[in-house]
Amino acid sequence: MKKSIILVYILFIFSGLFAADPGEGKYEEYIVIKYLINERNFKKAETLIDAYLKKYPDDPFILTEKAYLLADIKNDPKEAVRLLKKAGESYPGYYYANYLHARILFSEYYEGGGEDRESVDKAIEYLKLSTEDNGNFYSSYFLLGVIFSETDQFEESNEYFELANRVRETPEAYFNMSANYHKLDDREGEILAHKKILKFSPDNSHILNILSQLYLKKSDFENAAVYLEKLSLLDPGNKKLSFKYLYTLFAAGENEKFLKISDGIDISGSSLLTYARAFILCTKERYAGAEKLLARMQNKDLKSQLLLADIYNRKQDYYRGYRVLKKIAEKDRDTIYYSLLLQILPGLNMNREITGVYESLKDNEKILKNFTLNECYNIIFAFVNLNKTAKSLLSARNFYRISNEKPDELKEVIQLFEDFANSEDIEVEKISFEPNFFLILNLYKNRGKYDSAISLINRLIKKGEDEAYYIELCEVYLQQEKNEEAEKLLEWLMEKYPFSVLVGNYYAYYLALQNRDLELALKLSAYTLKQDGESPAYLDTYGLILFKSGRADEAIIYLKKAYKKNPFEPEIIEHVADYYRGKGDFKTIIDIYKKAIANGVDFKEQLIEKIKRVERSIKLKNK
């Protein structure tokens, strides 16, 4: 049985679907059930469903909702089918019940290796009944398209995908149509389908690349050039035949051939091909080679600068990435630039800089609307970390307003901030998304509301255990000066997560601060570095333990590595400063502090005071 790419989209499109037929408004409970399922509150929805079925055991709509939970949430397709059959006795044509039944049958057919043809034929019958009952139900047409494609009936498959698109156009339907056209060797149809996908995402490099390949296969170089230019910003001045050939290979996605040929040709004269080789190396996670190529370029264009900054970001070399981005001219700073900057700045803990980026862009909807949800959260978190709750709320509202998709996460953030403004004790049951737990947790810690913070963390742990949650709990204990509770928790964590680099580093750092069990701390820290030798946090921990062990000259090697990657982290700064303080080199300490101040770190006021104290020490020393 072939494993078609089409099947990937079944889970993507159909997971979480539920019926949308309230029985002409007869049941108020049904509206609530629909809402709960939509909110993914399945446990509560099932409780209401079961109560409802006690009153109306033959209700086809609620039986179907119960079947959905059994099939998709509880993985009990047999019981789901039993309920769907029961629903069919009172409403044989109910479109959603027939659709669910068909989907279960087709899953069984697929998991059985495509041997049970009877199951797939029945699935098709159910889906046709579904479309007769509701001619505007997209999912039934889509699944028919999938089934016919999987059974090698590609023309019939595309007919149903066309019907699905008449109900609601989606890139998934066109993607599957393009796969069918490919199997039918219909290049024109394949091209048309991919062009349709571009309507939804004009800058989709994968689709642009496919289109360029299709036109190249047709020897239609004019149209190929259109998509090649969009993909790679072709240098029109490069006339060398070999360079053109390499460019075409890159644009067409022939990466292995490109690497093999470019390895024997001097491409240093072409910024485009240098970028292309570096980009392909990055896709293979060969970052050192890509960095070397880009770093030695004389005149880096925008895309090469951005790629180099991205490499440093992936290597957790945040400061070098930051420096590359800061050299990019303001006129060239596009959405990709700001997105990358908002990925790097959190690694440097530069909340003021993050909020400054947002303030400079808050009226630029063209850029802001293209930020990912994570990048929006980085800005919201930065305001929270600076204890600027009102600004956090304003930024969340702005992102939600300009977003086309209206993410539920941001909607919840807004409500939580509004609730927090009225009462700092948030009902944790109102929080559904993990990032929002940590937002409120930071607010609590900023306000010193540690009991509320602990309650919130315990709620998060109940949702799903994760060592990061326990580390947060340990942090709160330490902030409360409950060292005994913190240490017991850490010892328990080491038993529960013996191979966790997060737990190992945290415990090693804790022991270093306590200046005890340094041999154990060094062993734990060495393990974390073996797993991730790029992390400035892990490098700093190892250096600190060596320093505490009296091995200062060894320690500074690791502390400098950590400092080079992140010279704006308070702990890293102080650990390096402690080394130079021991050497009596106060000038270097002042330089370290001034560098951080000049880059606008969050704690620059404290550093100014520290400089004054160092300068007083120098005066006393010189008396």
Decide which of 349 and 269 is more confident. Answer: 349
pTM of the model: 0.59
Question: Structure tokens of 386?
Answer: 């600076």
Distance of CA 254 to the CA centre of its chain: 28
Contact 528, 501 (CB under 8 A): yes
Burial 448-471 (b: 16+ CB within 10 A, else e): ebeebbbebbeebeeeeeebebbb
Other C-beta atoms lying within 10 Å of the C-beta of residue 500 = 20
pLDDT at 587: 93
Asked if the model's pLDDT at residue 256 lies above 50, the reply is: yes
Decide which of 620 and 385 is more confident. Answer: 385
Model confidence pLDDT, tens digit, residues 38-71:
888 989 989 988 888 888 888 898 899 899 999 8
The residue count of the chain comes to 623
Q: Using the Cα atoms of residue 24, residue 29, residue 33 and residue 36 in order, give the sign of their dihedral.
A: positive
**Mean pLDDT confidence for 73-86:** 90
Other C-beta atoms lying within 10 Å of the C-beta of residue 235 = 15
Asked if the model's pLDDT at residue 10 lies above 50, the reply is: no
Helix (H) or strand (E) holding 511: helix 501-514
Model confidence pLDDT, tens digit, residues 502-512:
999 999 999 99
Looking at the chain, the whole-number percentage of residues with pLDDT higher than 70 is 91
pLDDT at 242: 52
Distance, CA of 565 to CA of 316 (rounded, Å) = 7
Tokens 């590595």 sit at which residue? 561
Distance, CA of 197 to CA of 206 (rounded, Å) = 11
Other C-beta atoms lying within 10 Å of the C-beta of residue 115 = 9
Asked if the model's pLDDT at residue 446 lies above 50, the reply is: yes
Phi/psi for 151 (5° steps) reads: -100, 20
DSSP-based three-state secondary structure for 437:
helix
Q: Using the Cα atoms of residue 208, residue 209, residue 213 and residue 219 in order, give the sign of their dihedral.
A: positive
Contact 39, 432 (CB under 8 A): yes
Question: Structure tokens of 307?
Answer: 């790629």
Question: Structure tokens of 538?
Answer: 């892990």
Distance, CA of 500 to CA of 471 (rounded, Å) = 12
**Mean pLDDT confidence for 108-128:** 82
Angle (CA) 168-198-255 rounded to 5° is: 135
